[in-house]
A and B are shown apart, each in its own frame.
Chain A
Amino acid sequence: MGLAVLVSAMMAGTMVPPAAAQDLSGEIRFSWWGSTVRNAKAESIISMFEKANPGVKVSREPGEWGSYWDKLTVQSASGNQPCAITMQSRWLAQYADPSILQPLDDKVASGELDVTGIDSAVLDSGRGSDGNLYFIPHGVFYFTLFMNKTAIEDAGMELPPDDWTWDDYAQYARDLSDKLPEGSYAVGNQGGAMDTFTDWVQSHGETLFTPEGEVGFTKQTVVDYFDFWEALRKDGVTETADQMAEIPDNIIDDTLLANGKILIDARPANQVDGHQKVLDAAMPGQELVIHSYPVGPSGTGEDIGSNGLAIGATCDENGTKLTEAWINFFTENPDAAATYSSDNGVVSVDRFRTAQLENPDTTPGQYQAVNMLSTVGPRAKSAYFPSGGYSALSGALTSAYETVAFEQSSSADAADKLIAQVKRLVRD
């Protein structure tokens, strides 16, 4: 009898959601970026949270990616940032200061914030250069190669092996290019693209930035990178320089990859479905698969980043408590995770990844993105960016490679210019 009571009490204890048990009340502001799809998902998760905590109201502050960071910066400068702030590892350095965001280590240690099932490497991507944890990652993003499997096989080739090198990559691209008709290209030119450059640098044993915020790669690495892509471009293996400069990667409908004109290109893994949808319309029957990057002399070089939730430093005690409950709900509640469905990066909590893989409603693209993270996640090296580092390097890289591709300067001069420009732009 006594045992039964104890057991049922324990059962009851585990059944009651921790948030509801605290009897919370009040209002917090929650800001995020995203499209209408994500806004709808966020809306329904907030409704679930408010239903579970009747005294709590979450004020919605949705935003668009480009203006999100400007807005957060201005809010932070005036001490008016929301309590619950969506944060990204690449942009964290700007805000990683206890006067802007609350350090979270103590809350994790005391159990006020629940990080069950989040890989420690992923959790660490929420740390600033001062070592403090500033946000709880809920989604993991990484870049990978998209391959138009159908078109490659139609050209009489097989998909490459997983353990290929950059030289193999170039050779494979040339072989494929020989079999393609005019106007189709084997690979997309990544000479000015930040994510493949990151992979190149890290697979050659260097880093983009040192922890002190200095440029971490050498001139020779940049020269080799530019030469690698120039050789392919000049032989017509990639698209032309003006096509490369004209078509932005972020508008999926316009990309040559999604329109079946480029067979291999680098993209964030969570965009498979988006590209597949456009490809279905442009070239019915063709299938995109994801494939790992080549291996460099120092092994793999994949970068991994995360999106998550932070707490504003100006949030008062009650607001902080509400925000903790909201972060726990958003990150660890199975219904919330199922609703969000890895919308902003593959879900960081391992049991939700398993659930997504087992869910018959999961799309083929999502399945691949979730599945491949188990390969990429453990070996990835999360690139560090100092304040302003990401925008400075990505802009300088694109511009420098364009001067090479339009034959205005040599790889060596462009590499010098790139490094000098980043050094000038990244300063405190």
Chain B
Amino acid sequence: MFLLPWFLGLVFITLGPVLVSLYLSFTRYNILKPPRWIGLDNYVELFIWDPQFWAAVRVTFFFVGWSVPLVLVMSLGIAVLLNRGLSFLPVYRSIFYIPSLIGGSVAIGLLWREVFGSSGIVNQFLQGFGIATRSWVATPETAPWTLVSLNVWTFGAAMVIFLAALRQIPTSLYEAASIDGASAWTRFRRITLPLLTPVIFFNLILQVIHSFQAFTQSFIVSNGTGGPAESTLLYTLYLYQRAFVQLDMGYASAMAWVLLIVIAVFTGLLFWSARFWVYYGDG
């Protein structure tokens, strides 16, 4: 009885639309006309006939493949530095955390366009050293990197979680290791990292899911085109174009289901791999 509001919400707001989108993925549907059943045609076209789909898959794997490890290394590194008994820690922690609050916003996307544009501050800085410049957001080779860097810049959320975990590690372990003559690197490698693995695992899962679903950055940085030359066409942006530019809701629904399955497979693989490297302190 007390669960009823929650249950109704689940059925009507979450489960209903999810099931409808599963149905729509087997239809052709442009909103204005009733959906028409076409079986597996959308899926067949996706995998066999649609080079844009594969372009989007390539861009997305590039994005996930670089930004997830970089975010983890960056956030862990900064967390370790901050954990060394710094004064004003809460201030630094807040400063580093701010980007992850605003990094997904439209305003930051616009800012990124300016920073990496042909007359942005990155180029002004490089010109100071006499380095030839170009527009980083409008060159196919560099544009995906501006998206990766924007995502890495929002490492704060992962960092805060790492910082909390670092504080849980008993100092007695470090003291014992120091007495035995372990160097700072050895202490990090043999004590910090193993005890952090559950939290690394947690952050890894979050970042993978988050990165597969990244949208705003590429939408704003490329003006919604995924350009230049499809170099920033993230999967979700292509899905958006099919759904809301071409009004191809059936096709977009099929794309959404493929994304769901891919994320599920990756998450499943990570959970499977966890047994080999995540240490829960139970021997």
Contacts and interface: CB of A to CB of B under 8 A. Distances in A.
A97 B32 contact: yes
Interface string A81-97: 00000000000001101
- What DSSP secondary structure best describes chain A's contact surface? helix
Interface in A251-295: none
Interface string A387-415: 11001100100110011001010000000
Nearest to A67: B244
Contact of B223 (A243, A248, A406): A248
A398 B227 contact: yes
B123 to A, nearest CB: 11
Contacts, number: 81
Residue among B49, B135, B228, B247 having the largest count of chain A Cβ atoms under 10 Å: B228
B51 A427 contact: no
A73 B247 CA distance: 9
Interface stretch (B2-10, B98-106, B137-145, B161-169): B137-145
B245 A402 contact: no
Given A94-B32, A242-B138, A392 B246 contact: yes
A245 B135 contact: yes
Interface residues of B, number: 30
Given A76-B32, A245-B135, A424-B50, A399 B244 contact: no
A425 interface: yes
A108 interface: no
B184 interface: no
Residue among A95, A388, A395 having the largest count of chain B Cβ atoms under 10 Å: A395
B52 A246 contact: no
Contacts of A231: none
A74 B31 contact: yes
Contacts of A242: 118, 134-135, 138-139, 228
Nearest to A391: B245
B32 A73 contact: yes
A402 B32 contact: no
Nearest to A420: B51
A402 B246 contact: no
10 contacts: A76-B32, A94-B30, A95-B32, A242-B118, A246-B137, A399-B229, A399-B230, A402-B229, A403-B229, A427-B28
A97 B34 CA distance: 14
Interface string B41-53: 0000100011110
A41 B228 CA distance: 38
Contacts of A244: 138
A428 B246 CA distance: 11
A398 B137 CA distance: 16
Contacts of B229: 245, 399, 402-403, 406, 408
B117 interface: yes
A398 B230 CA distance: 10
Nearest to A74: B31
B118 A417 contact: no
A246 B135 contact: yes
A70 interface: yes
Given A95-B32, A246-B135, A248-B223, A425 B228 contact: no
A399 B139 contact: no
A140 to B, nearest CB: 26
A58 interface: no
In the A-B complex, the 4 residue pairs with the smallest Cβ-Cβ separation, listed nearest first, are A246-B138, A245-B228, A245-B138, A402-B229
A421 interface: yes
A245 B28 contact: no
A40 interface: no
Nearest to B52: A421
Contact of A402 (B30, B117, B228): B228
Contacts of B21: none
Contacts of A399: 225-227, 229-230
Residue among B49, B134, B137, B247 having the largest count of chain A Cβ atoms under 10 Å: B247
B178 to A, nearest CB: 54
Contacts of A370: none
B222 to A, nearest CB: 9
A128 B55 CA distance: 35
